[in-house]
Structure 1
Amino acid sequence: MKRYCPNLFSYTRRQSDPIRIGSHLVLGGDAPVVVQSMTTTNTADVEASARQVMRLAAAGAEMVRLTAPGRTEAERLLTIRRRIEEQECYVPLVADIHFNPQVALIAAQYVSKVRINPGNFIDRRATFKHLEYTDEEYAAELERLRVQLTALIEVCKYYNTVIRIGVNHGSLSDRIMSRYGDTTDGMVESAMEFLRVCRAEGYDRVVISMKSSNTRVMVEAYRKLVVRMDEEGMRYPLHLGVTEAGEGEDGRIRSAVGIGALLADGIGDTIRVSLTEAPENEIAPARILADYFKGREVHNYIPVDDDPLPYDPYNYSRRATTAVQHRGKTIGGGMPPVVVGDRAAGADFAPEDFPLTTPGQAMRGADREKGWIACTLEHLTYEFLEWLEKHPERILVLVSENVHWVGEIRACFVQLMRHGVANPVVVSRCYGEKSLERLQLHAAADFGALLIDGFGDGIWIVNEVFETIYDEDAQGKPVRTERDATPEFDLTSLSFSILQAARARISRTEIISCPGCGRTLFELQEAARAVKERFGHYPGLKIAVMGCIVNGPGEMADADFGYVGSGNGLVTLYKGKEVVERNIPQEGALERLEQLIRGTSG
């Protein structure tokens, strides 16, 4: 099986070719992961856009993207750049281009990087109808692509501008879907068509992204892209992101599941955490994620060979396990993963519901209550694995203290699968976080990386914080004591959010919402919050809230209903990909959406 990273159990960063963006920023190679964001202002408003760019730079953004839907906005990019440089702000600017190659030619003269979308750079807007292309017609379309892209490459060569080829699952072209369907293979081919033109033209200042609101799709697409690029000798840097991630806890966790699953394997040179919030709020979680994987190369050796793998990392499937009954609930056997936590908050089990035992006690028969067996990779000896095969009813709890936690827990699953052990597994990790945001991001990155590959019949998140207090006794001698300073975080809600973000267990409404940009013509953040408040109690229902039509119709394929901006204060409602009502004033759109949902649900 072809690899997307050198070793699944030994952390190393993917070696991309470094490129310079702007006067000082290096992306790729051995450079640290770069954090970026995007403005939400109208780019034609120079003063507002310049102020927001500077706020983002002050917050820690190392690149800032602005939308350029037309010539006016593209021309204003020069003025915005001059305005921020007057204030000694030199953060590289990126122009976001859709539908209009001519606008890209203008913007490329003024910014450090231009993002183009292969789904709509030269192809017309997707109709989502199956179109037939003969080989000759398909080749003619590729030639048209080459001509348009070559024109942009020539401008970028002259002005030393970088191109990001930004593929979005929600905006693949009809041409690509006619050959590959709405698939990750289609996403990869969409990128490769553009990359081959760049290489043929001797242009290597390229970055690629493969975004989706579905974390499984996003991770699978990046993995497949890395394999394809390796096959063709390409080492371009990668931009990671989960598009339309949402807001609040949900947005952060969904982003961390997708981005973290890739960073855990050393993939990714720059990241954006897209939130339906003020763009400044994106910087801190992105930096926390990037920093979480710093220094991971130095970890305890994991003595497991990753060839051959007993699972397919390019096609999702759950690890097959035995169904085991415990306190009236089923663990394993294809059932959704259980949550260990606070039963009053909805957890399936609480820690007091089961005694923990060791592999040694279990094999000796010394645990009369037949508790859950806590074990590490070191415990998975040939003797213990043989014993487990004879006792498929016993539940395992996998733990690790390795810095490369994902690698070691993954190695445990591989060992179990190679030996045909089908016991259900609950994965557990103990954190020591005082910050809820850090805990959310770290736990989502860790557990999400495993759930994406179908590993785990349950998750158990623990957070313990102890503080050391120095004092004096009655004789004036120094005394050191420890006290429990664990914050009261809702770990059960966090667990369910991670399972939902990884598509492992759906327990609430899924709100897919974009972060907004200069194209957004209605109050997106307010709308996303209102939709979540009103419809958050429909488990399994998916609603997409989109600021404009760039990805809107495509993301409808993954949603039951869509609420998409279509004009100044106007909204178009979708059911799946089909338009139900166009250009409704935003004031009444929520009520109409509720009528549609109630009508469907009866």
Structure 2
Amino acid sequence: MTQKKPSETGDATKRSPLFCDSLFAYKRNITRAVQVGTIGIGGSHPVRLQSMTTTNSLETEATAEQCLRIARAGGELVRITTQGRREALNLEAIQQYIRHKGYDFPLVADIHFNPNAALLAAERVDKVRINPGNFADGAKKFRDIDYSADVYQAELADIESKLGPFLEVCRKNGTALRIGANHGSLSDRIMARYGDTPKGMVESCMEFLRICRRANFDNIVLSIKSSNTRVMVHTVRLLVATMRSEGMHYPLHLGVTEAGSGEDGRIKSAVGIGALLADGLGDTIRVSLTEDPEEEIPVARLLRDHVTGRPGHALIEEVSAESYQPYAYVKRSSHQVGIFGKGQPAAVVMDVRQGTAFENSQLVPEAVLVSSVDVSLPSAFSNCIRLVPRQYMPDRPVADVWPLLDVRSFLSDVRVEGHKVLEVRYSDLDAALLGALRKDEDVVLLLTSDHVNALAEQRAFFLALEENGLTHPVIVHRRYSDADLAHVQIKAAADTGLLFLDGYGDGISVAAPKLAIAGLVELHFGILQASRVRFSRTEFISCPGCGRTLFDLQTTTKKVRERTAHLKGLKIAIMGCIVNGIGEMADADYGYVGAGPGKISLFKNRALVMKALPEKEAVDRLIELIKDSGDWTEAPPLSNIF
């Protein structure tokens, strides 16, 4: 079998401690406890939920009332944009307003570019977030500078001179610190030495963390975020492994930046955050949606409760993890069986065996699991492969109909010729089944699980296949009894995204008999897109907004989505300001970024194309730019969709 080849990143980190205690048993990562006002983060404390205000931070009542709405929704701490001295001073008035209403939840100041504002904020709130990419370096200029060792060390010394006084103010006031690195705002210094890599993002955090350690300051929470879930997950894992190698155990804040709105934002957040929570990482989370901030809290709560309710689960038999590459994407090698495997796009397989409301959908799966060959399917599914239980197969071969077997029938003496699907669990993978699979390569495995920690059990299955040299394509299958599509979106994305982020899976199948087909089809494609393995529609990278936002982000995002959602495979970034705008849209095809009050700048492949356009004409100009660049196609008529 062709094993997963270690990448450069994998080789570099292979000697580091693993990022979690076990790949097969859920256990919270042990971190030091950090006190933030009235709550503790890390240690034995539960995973905390938080959000961030979108108001002008100088508007005391509006900001405080939004904080209260977040708290009433279940948010346990609230972050506030703090652009400068005036905003930092006004934090005191905001806090007094909140205390007067009878609430005492912690407030967090969000600082970019302004160490002086950080000093003032540290005297007034419970926690200050600083970004190592711009705390002392200023705005990222994307300059190509050749940093000598001396110049590099001189910049670090300058950072330490600015960070030291701030740490003393934090120490004096009992203020916690979040060192929060963002993929979109790495410093020129980091970019020059490490490039736009997970190692560079980790080092951006570690430089500041080592300075704090020299100052004997430990009241710290760390975060590394990206709008790219693959980058986010691999980088946070690498950060934890790096900390472990240096004897550090600071708590982690998790989030996917610019996740977007609606189901896309929820699925993307669940994939990224869920993949880390599943391995016990994360002490506080924020689901960043381009919606009112209080709407983020119920999503975060559902995600947290779903993933973290697994301690003490039934034993999962361990298997060698020698082939596992947790710090870089390496696709598992699989051979081809029809439409599955060997580098083909991950397939969508709808499971309608237990009666799902049939209807057409804009996106069409490649295959359908049905109870019999005569089941009537929506007209849009007419070309799908039908996977039918063996006992209900027609007497004669029928085009695009494959038998679905259980393990007993597969191991029987009666050989089934041609393409087939075998429904299997990790516990089925004994010597007899392994031997039978070695003799028959014309099999696709439908991997299912009812284990409480099904994700870990399914990961063990993939590792066992690799250990035994088997390359059969695998469809990742999960089943849910929920009648609420929003709940299934969060659960399924959290339960399957990690596998696709790690290069496993040649197809996905989510069974939810109580839900209609159209929403389920969208969910399948949404998980694959959020996991970065298959792009089937426009991807919108949109920030949630904050006090720095320079236009109506929610309304604008809706307008852009309505006019461009049909553009298959394009990435469009809609960013409120420049803090992360240019960096986070590094892999976007087009960018719409706030440049000043009522002004928008448009980018193509991170290059500025139109500067400071009036907001009222910017969406039209974006459409013109897409058309002029040859990336525009007309939306299909509704009659072809439903």
Fold conserved between structures, TM > 0.5: yes
Q: Deviations over 1:169-226 (max 9, x none)?
A: 0000110000000111000000000000111111110000100000000001100000
1:389 and 1:422 in contact (8 A); partners too:
no
The residue type equivalent to 1:7 in the other structure is S
In structure 2, what is the Cα distance between the partners aligned to 1:365 and 1:457?
A: 28
Tell me, yes or no, if structure 1 residue 198 matches structure 2 residue 212.
Answer: yes
The residue type equivalent to 2:471 in the other structure is A
Counterpart secondary structure, 1:413: helix
Counterpart secondary structure, 2:125: coil
Q: Deviations over 1:408-448 (max 9, x none)?
A: 00000000011110111011111111222211100000110
Tell me, yes or no, if structure 1 residue 349 matches structure 2 residue 398.
Answer: no
Identity of aligned residues (%): 49
For residues 27-42 of structure 1, what are the structure 2 equivalents within 5 Å? 27-42=41-56
Tell me, yes or no, if structure 1 residue 585 matches structure 2 residue 598.
Answer: no
Match among 239, 243, 246 for residue 229 of structure 1: 243
1:430 counterpart residue number: 479
In structure 1, what is the Cα distance between the partners aligned to 2:415 and 2:179?
A: 58
In structure 1, what is the Cα distance between the partners aligned to 2:561 and 2:125?
A: 37
Gaps of 5+ in 2: 1-13, 351-357, 371-385, 389-403, 632-642
For residues 468-547 of structure 1, what are the structure 2 equivalents within 5 Å? 490-547=519-576
**Most deviating of 533-542 and 32-41:** 533-542
Give TM-score, length-normalised by structure 1: 0.94
In structure 1, what is the Cα distance between the partners aligned to 2:576 and 2:438?
A: 53
Tell me, yes or no, if structure 1 residue 338 matches structure 2 residue 332.
Answer: no
The residue type equivalent to 2:408 in the other structure is G
2:401 counterpart residue number: none
1:384 counterpart residue number: 433
Alpha-carbon offset, residue 89 of structure 1: 1.1
Counterpart secondary structure, 2:120: helix
For residues 89-168 of structure 1, what are the structure 2 equivalents within 5 Å? 89-168=103-182
In structure 2, what is the Cα distance between the partners aligned to 1:159 and 1:379?
A: 58
In structure 2, what is the Cα distance between the partners aligned to 1:102 and 1:42?
A: 19
For residues 159-558 of structure 1, what are the structure 2 equivalents within 5 Å? 159-305=173-319, 307-325=320-338, 330-341=339-350, 344-345=360-361, 346-352=364-370, 353-355=386-388, 356-366=404-414, 368=416, 371-464=420-513, 490-558=519-587
Counterpart secondary structure, 1:331: coil
Counterpart secondary structure, 1:350: strand
2:22 counterpart residue number: 7
2:379 counterpart residue number: none
In structure 2, what is the Cα distance between the partners aligned to 1:599 and 1:390?
A: 55
Counterpart secondary structure, 1:395: strand
2:9 counterpart residue number: none
Tell me, yes or no, if structure 1 residue 20 matches structure 2 residue 35.
Answer: yes
2:106 and 2:126 in contact (8 A); partners too:
yes
Gaps of 5+ in 1: 466-485
Alpha-carbon offset, residue 520 of structure 1: 0.7
1:75 and 1:106 in contact (8 A); partners too:
yes
Q: Deviations over 1:354-385 (max 9, x none)?
A: 13212231122436476310111111112211
Alpha-carbon offset, residue 280 of structure 1: 0.8
Alpha-carbon offset, residue 487 of structure 1: 6.2
Alpha-carbon offset, residue 540 of structure 1: 1.4
1:171 and 1:551 in contact (8 A); partners too:
yes
2:133 and 2:185 in contact (8 A); partners too:
yes
Alpha-carbon offset, residue 294 of structure 1: 3.0
In structure 2, what is the Cα distance between the partners aligned to 1:444 and 1:537?
A: 22
2:485 and 2:519 in contact (8 A); partners too:
no
In structure 1, what is the Cα distance between the partners aligned to 2:290 and 2:556?
A: 10
2:180 and 2:223 in contact (8 A); partners too:
yes
Counterpart secondary structure, 1:324: coil
The residue type equivalent to 2:343 in the other structure is G
Alpha-carbon offset, residue 396 of structure 1: 0.5
The residue type equivalent to 1:245 in the other structure is A
The residue type equivalent to 1:357 in the other structure is L
The residue type equivalent to 1:444 in the other structure is A
1:343 and 1:349 in contact (8 A); partners too:
no
In structure 1, what is the Cα distance between the partners aligned to 2:322 and 2:521?
A: 32
In structure 1, what is the Cα distance between the partners aligned to 2:276 and 2:163?
A: 29
Q: Deviations over 1:22-59 (max 9, x none)?
A: 0x211101111000000000000001111111111111
Q: Deviations over 1:277-312 (max 9, x none)?
A: 01110000000011112331121111123x442131
1:451 and 1:504 in contact (8 A); partners too:
yes
The residue type equivalent to 2:260 in the other structure is G
Q: CA RMSD in A?
A: 1.3
Give TM-score, length-normalised by structure 2: 0.88
In structure 1, what is the Cα distance between the partners aligned to 2:154 and 2:629?
A: 44
